[in-house]
Amino acid sequence: MMHQQKGKKILIYFFIFLIVGSINNTALTKIKFETIKSIQISGLNQKQNISLLESIKELDLKNIFFLNGKEISKIISSNSLVENYEIFKKYPFALDIKIERTDFLAKINNNGKIFLIGTNGKLSDVKFSDKELPFIFGKPKIDEFIKFTNIIEQSKLSLNQVKNLYFFPSKRWDLELKNNVILKLSKDHTKLSLDQAFELINDNNFNDIKVVDARIKNQIILND
């Protein structure tokens, strides 16, 4: 019984919609919606915000009611500085775009040009970073590097302690720390190697260590 009553109500609303729609259809086609007049972007520096804004303004944005968010999202997502973003509609004719900038992890030479690698997995050709970054020697894939930094952060060591990273064709890494100690790491048990090396370099009995070779599982070779 309840379903029948609900069905009757839906049917009545449907007929009302058809009647109102047929009466006002001509009037609706004549309505002119205001085009988007204001776009605010925040999260990057002023120059970067303006550059992104100019790219978005090249789109045929029309009005806020029929906005194609996919086109805007495509432009924002393609920006190498963007980690996350949100687009807010402010009716009747404004957009507010809030951006979370990616965090830079390291520097790398790519075809003779220096790039910064972000946590978003993209290369950025910005000239300066607000923090000292380690340099990568070798040619790892970006996702390989991101995976490796995740392992570092899960270990007792921190990426902030690293001055240089060396990637080998065998997919193995060496680290040069800011105290000039070299860590030779295993490809297969990297976190264990990092934790064991960390314990040694922080032991006052091994202050003269220059190289910690942890490539063999559960075996550490020290060189001074």
Quote the pLDDT of residue 21.
53
Report the distance separating Cα 140 and Cα 11, nearest Å: 63
Quote the pLDDT of residue 33.
60
**What residue type is assigned to position 153 of the chain?**
E
Task: Please give the helix or strand (H or E) that residue 3 lies within, else none.
Answer: helix 2-29
CB 77 within 8 A of CB 69: no
Q: How many other CB atoms are there within 10 angstroms of residue 159's CB atom?
A: 15
Report the distance separating Cα 62 and Cα 68, nearest Å: 9
Domain ranges of the chain: 38-101, 104-223
| Span between the terminal Cα atoms of the chain, in Å | 87
Superfamily of domain 104-223: Cell division protein FtsQ/DivIB (3.40.50.11690)
Write the burial class of residue 142 (CB in 10 Å: 0-12 exposed, 13-18 middle, 19+ buried).
middle
User: For each successive 10 residues of the chain (224 residues), what is the average pLDDT?
Assistant: 39 47 50 75 94 90 77 93 93 91 95 94 84 94 96 93 96 94 91 89 79 87 79
**What residue type is assigned to position 3 of the chain?**
H
At the topology level, CATH places domain 38-101 in Ubiquitin-like (UB roll) (3.10.20)
